[in-house]
Amino acid sequence: MTYLKNIGISFGFILGSLFGITLLITFLHYMNLIGSKVLSVLEILTPLIALFVGGFVIGKKSKQKGWLEGLKLSGIFLVVLVLFQYLGLHSSFSLKNVLFYVLLIVSTVFGSMIGINKSSKNE
């Protein structure tokens, strides 16, 4: 039960980060403080940062093997993302999407590895 709680908390941080960063980017773009080129780069960086934060949180809460916890979290998130994208939006399969998914996995695993290292130093 604690594992599901940790996954839920990590998903909350992922969604909170996504919504917070998206709101900030939207506000800055609305005020014409960032251009369209910067906006397209930030569209790619936003989920990477959000999954890194979620991976950091689950790594901090796990006891061992942070990379495995990050891999599990990214796998669950990618299943939800792929189901939404391909079943809900009827998007086509492309190599660009696969590369983006691999970057999301790497970001989450890296965040969880840093998170588990930070938790073991404090204890």
Which pTM does this prediction carry? 0.87
In angstroms, the CA 87 to CA 59 distance is: 31
User: Which residues 6+ apart lie within 8 Å of 15 measured at CB?
Assistant: 50
For residue 89, the SS3 value is coil
Q: What is the pLDDT of residue 88?
A: 77
Asked whether the beta carbons of 14 and 53 are under 8 A apart, the reply is: yes
In angstroms, the CA 54 to CA 14 distance is: 5
Length of the chain: 123
Burial class (CB in 10 A: 0-12, 13-18, 19+), 23: exposed
Give, for all 123 residues of the chain, the pLDDT tens digit: 788 888 899 999 999 999 999 999 999 999 999 988 999 999 999 999 999 999 999 988 888 888 898 899 999 999 998 888 888 777 777 898 899 999 999 999 999 999 988 865 555
